[in-house]
Amino acid sequence: LAMAAAPDKNFWLWGTWGKRVIKAPFLTQKVPGKIRDVIIGHTFIIALQEDGTLVSWGEDKAGCLGLGTDYTHCPDPRKIPFPSDFTGKVVDIQYGKHHILALTNLGKVYAWGENPDGQLGLNDTQTRYEPQLVEELSRYPVTQILAVDNMSYALTKGGLVYAWGENKEGSLALEHDNPRVMKPEPMMRMSSKESPVK
């Protein structure tokens, strides 16, 4: 799927999207505010606005819309709700195979979507339909995130890289070869001199 910015807060979309083939570019729904980044899934879109707000629309039964169990199909852009104790604003979003990671300006990481290999970092394999804080990373301010297939990565301010999710054939470069890693663990041969935030 290809996308181009259009006037009045719109997007032009064309190409293959899910089972649809869009031969002629069409305008999407208007999204309020200035857009900083966009994720285009197989059948859904998530837009990160300059003020840190996330909005999503489309269809996704894996929870990637982030709108709760009542909204696996949403034709119009809708704000993604975060937990009531959420502070700061989202500055980056990453899309894996069927899961989403979001990074805030305070270094916190949130995750939602499918979780068969623990790629959400929540110490289980349950699907989440709304953003959840990755508690394991709360002590270490995160500066960068990455989601690839069923794997997730985070780089902390102290220079330590954490990895979690699918660990087939040791693909996460951890100190063990467990096939599923349910919470963030430091990668091998990386500095371990980091101290938690007090």
DSSP state letter for 81: P
Is 131 in the same domain as 96? yes
More confidently predicted of 5 and 95: 95
Tell me which of 26-40, 41-55, 62-76 is least confident.
Answer: 26-40
Rg (CA), the chain: 17
Domain that holds residue 129: 86-193
- pLDDT of 127 strictly over 90: yes
Is 4 in the same domain as 62? yes
Is 108 in the same domain as 188? yes
- pLDDT of 195 strictly over 60: no
Is 73 in the same domain as 100? no
- 125 belongs to a structural domain: yes
Is 75 in the same domain as 134? no
- 29 belongs to a structural domain: yes
Is 18 in the same domain as 103? no
- 47 belongs to a structural domain: yes
- pLDDT of 3 strictly over 90: no
More confidently predicted of 1 and 181: 181
| Nearby residues of 176 by Cβ (< 8 Å), 6 or more positions away | none
Is 151 in the same domain as 75? no
Out of 56, 81, 106, a domain closes at: 81
Is 112 in the same domain as 70? no
Strand partners for 3: 13
Out of 60, 81, 102, a domain closes at: 81
- 198 belongs to a structural domain: no
Q: pLDDT averaged over the chain?
A: 88
The pLDDT, as a whole number, for residue 35 is 83
What are the tokens at 178?
A: 């467990």
Out of 81, 98, 115, a domain closes at: 81
Is 73 in the same domain as 90? no
- pLDDT of 48 strictly over 80: yes
Report residue 31's pLDDT band, with 50, 70 and 90 as the boundaries: confident
Dihedral of alpha carbons 99, 97, 136, 126, sign? positive
The pLDDT, as a whole number, for residue 87 is 94
Strand order across the 20-27 sheet: 2-6, 10-17, 20-27
Report residue 64's pLDDT band, with 50, 70 and 90 as the boundaries: very high
In tens, the pLDDT along 131-180 reads 999 999 999 999 999 999 999 999 999 999 999 999 998 889 998 989 99
- 41 belongs to a structural domain: yes
The pLDDT, as a whole number, for residue 155 is 97
| Residue whose token pair is 């290809």 | 2
**CA dist., res. 21 & res. 132, Å (int):** 34
Number of domains within the chain: 2
Find the CATH number of the domain harbouring 109.
Answer: 2.130.10.30
The pLDDT, as a whole number, for residue 169 is 86
Tell me the pTM: 0.86
